[in-house]
Structure 1
Amino acid sequence: MPRPIIAPSVLASDFGQLSAECKRMIKGGAEWLHMGTASQMTSGGRAIDYSAPPQMSWMGPPVLSCISKAVPGIFMDCHMMVAQPEKWVNDIADAGGSLYCFHIEATSDAVSLIRAIHERKMKAGVAISPDTSSTAITDEIGAAADMLLVMTVYPGRGGQKFIERCVPKVAELRARFPDKDIEVDGGVGPKTVGVCAKAGSNVIVAGTAVFGAPSPEDVIAELKASVAAAQGSKAQTP
């Protein structure tokens, strides 16, 4: 499997110290920073019309642009919880986004959108909400994408409980795409990372579990060790 990657969710940070918080996570061992760039999803995970200007979203382009300037070299994993995600590719690229992850529920032509993302020199991710089957990510879509995201909570609200029934979708995707980055997002921390890692996730998004910890670097190291241990046990399985 690909290497373990910990991506703290910046939505759990102190927004009054945003750049400092990002620097603190990188210094603590995080490879990516997970940016929830908008929240325009219904409770069922379906995207709705995006009507607010970008600066009114959680982490819109103006905010991302400021972070990218203040923290050179930062890898911003931009999770676009929006309808018509093709409209925001250029804005996120111009703001310094490194990976543009859209919801499969929000587009009718995922492959063309992935191509547009790649043309802007960003990695492309495809996300599925808890009520969406992993088979919605077809072999063609999965092969074209760089990262696949399995939501383990419903998009749009922090602090939700981890939905364990989503974990088998990670295993199904890992079986079909052994070399892809597979991310889990929602309610993931030291108590839940093990089941995700054993299913095949190598990219772990964690919010409060990291930002709220007395020693974020210890939590990041613990999460990374859990993924590495899971990978090691799989490698030793005959």
Structure 2
Amino acid sequence: MTVQISPSILSADFTDLAREVARIAPAADWVHVDVMDAHFVPNLTIGLPVVERLAQVSELPLDCHLMIADPDRWAPSYAEAGARSVTFHAEAVSAPVRLARELRARGARAGMALNPATPIEPYADLLPELDMLLLMTVEPGFGGQKFLDLVLPKLRRTRELVSRSGAQVWLQVDGGVAADTVERVVEAGADVLVAGSAVYGAEDPAEAVRGLRQLAAQAQTAQA
């Protein structure tokens, strides 16, 4: 599958999110929306009302990453608000299969995220219930962190598990994705890349997305 780019608005200007989303619309595949509740992670960002409004004005589909406590209760509301992909954390969910099915029933892709220290193997049997796995390549909670190379072996194992299962599961990485890390994550098996500061820290965010996409394509070609 061709690598997709999902820029994170965590690094955007929160005073004008509609404009910030429009700046990446010509080049990106998704808008990555980091929802943080100051409970599961120490940071507090945006919540359901903002996501609902963004879904109304964005030309791109919303890819919501819920770094929140009790996603079993709250995640379906994000699908109902218009998010096309909703990702909950394995460390926070109580009934992942039930929640994944609820998200799909509400028209969203169901994703599950794992923190850097959380192994993939206990969740292998859940793959048919999921549309995406998100492997955090930094500790969740704040943007602009340095990429953790220690996640790369887990990324390779996850790609092998997905391939063996036959499930159509996208493999997303989030944290420290930039020009100097794209090749490593694509080589390890990622096909959806979240990038925040690497995109919104550039003078032209859309051009930054195109640059990341080109590097990802080159990495895929080198593997072929």
TM-score, length-scaled by structure 2: 0.91
Match of 1:154 in 2: 139
- Which runs of structure 1 show a deviation greater than 3 angstroms over 4 or more consecutive aligned residues? none
* 8 A Cα contact 1:125 1:146, kept in partner: yes
Correspondent of 1:80 among 56, 66, 75 = 66
Question: Structure 1 residues 220-229 or 93-102, which shifts more?
Answer: 220-229
Cα separation, 1, equivalents of 2:119 and 2:33: 24
CA distance in 2, matches of 1:59, 1:142: 29
Asked if residue 31 in structure 1 is aligned to residue 29 in structure 2, the reply is yes
**Which residue does the alignment assign to 1:129?**
115
Match of 2:57 in 1: 70
Contact kept? 1:39, 1:156, Cα under 8 Å:
no
**Corresponding residue pairs, total:** 220
- After superposition, the C-alpha distances for 1:24-59 in whole angstroms (9 at most, x for unaligned) are 1112x0000100012445xxxxx47x9xxxxx9412
Q: Give the Cα–Cα distance (whole angstroms) in 2 for the partners of residues 103 and 40 of structure 1.
A: 15
Q: Tell me if the contact between 1:143 and 1:177 (Cα under 8 Å) persists in the aligned partners.
A: no
Find the aligned partners of 2:17 and 2:139 in 1 and give their Cα distance: 25
State the SS of the aligned residue for 1:105. Answer: coil
Once the two structures are overlaid, the 10-residue window that deviates more, 217-226 or 75-84, is 217-226
Q: CA deviation at 1:110?
A: 1.3
Render the CA deviation track for 1:60-105: whole Å, top value 9, x for unaligned: 110011112222x431110011121111133212321111101111
Alpha carbons 1:35, 1:76 under 8 Å: kept: yes
TM-superposed deviation, 1:230: 2.5
CA RMSD of aligned residues (A): 1.9
Between stretches 107-116 and 8-17, larger displacement belongs to 107-116
Corresponding residue for residue 202 of structure 1: 191
Q: Percent identity?
A: 36
Deviation of the 1:111 alpha carbon: 1.2
Give the Cα separation in 1 of the matches to 2:175 and 2:20: 20
Unaligned runs of 5+ residues in structure 1 are: 42-46, 51-55
* Counterpart contact for 1:39–1:155, Cα < 8 Å: no
* Cα distance in 2, alignment partners of residues 149 and 143 from structure 1: 15
CA contact 2:112–2:130 (8 Å) conserved in 1: yes
Contact 1:190 1:219 in 2 (8 A): no
Match of 2:221 in 1: 232
Of residues 190, 195, 200, the one that matches 1:211 is 200
TM score, norm. by length of structure 1: 0.86
1:10 pairs with 2:9 = yes
Unaligned runs of 5+ in 2: none
Shift of 1:231: 2.3
Distance 2:126 2:37 in 1: 24
Match of 1:53 in 2: none
